[in-house]
Amino acid sequence: MGLVTAIIPAAGSGSRIGSSSYKQFMELGGKPVIIHTLEKFQQSSEIDEMVVVFPPDKVREFSGRIAAYGFHKPIRFVAGGERRQDSVHQAFLSVNGRQTELVVIHDAVRPLVEADLIQRVVERARLTGAAIAAIQAVDTIKEVSSKDVVVATLNRSTLRQVQTPQAFAYPILRKALQRAYADGYYGTDDSSLVERIGIQVAVVPGSPLNIKITTPADVRFAELILRARG
């Protein structure tokens, strides 16, 4: 089997969270959010190396802050692009396709991911070529018009809230990215690019605790989860 490379997009800002600093470096349980995330991928026996994507003007500064934590797995730092998909693409271009079997993509600001979920997504992707973590939608979901009028009530039993990690065979992700850029297409997540080239994406049960840090309330919730985990 080839290498499994984790791409960690961390080029976003803290604008939605109301922070003057980058949200991936907000303190959570005594250390930056991104450190919690990278520790989970370092602990996973499935992951061989990591590629972290930072804002172009912050690569030197942020990579130095990461290096201070002494991670033993190989980590590369690359400059991100204008949008998240661009950042993932830049990271992907740094991956050695002759050695890499799978690419796992995970949001830097999902610090509560468990090693078990990483393993299950990777194992499923080895079998199918593409796998994502997702949880059952628990609230009723309605389609609403541009005038804020309900158009339809969707069948909740078939709906999933998609998370990361998402894992793909290297050739599949390469083809998906190439097609997306040829068509000028930007997806809402990485798996949507793979769906466009006709590949079925397997769904692995995620975790409601695998939250994405986007609001101040998320930070408080994450702190509670960390305390509960001890």
Predicted pLDDT of residue 137: 93
Q: What is the DSSP string of 176-229?
A: HHHHHHHHT---SSHHHHHHHTT---EEEE--TT-----SHHHHHHHHHHHHHH
Show pLDDT as tens, one digit a residue, over the chain (230 residues): 799 999 999 987 655 554 546 889 999 999 999 999 999 999 999 999 999 999 999 999 999 999 999 999 999 999 999 999 999 999 999 999 999 999 999 999 999 999 999 999 999 999 999 999 999 999 999 999 999 999 999 999 999 999 999 999 999 999 999 999 999 999 999 999 999 999 999 999 999 999 999 888 899 999 999 999 98
Are 104 and 166 in contact by the 8 Å Cβ rule? The answer is yes
pTM exceeds cut of 0.85: yes
The label of the residue with tokens 């930070």 reads 219
Terminal CA-CA length for the chain: 35
Predicted pLDDT of residue 1: 79
Distance CA 91, CA 113 (A): 21
Number of domains present in the structure of the chain: 1
Predicted pLDDT of residue 15: 53
Query: Residue 147: exposed, middle, or buried by beta-carbon count in 10 A (0-12, 13-18, 19+)?
Result: exposed
What domain range is 66 assigned to? 3-229
CATH number of the CATH domain containing 194: 3.90.550.10
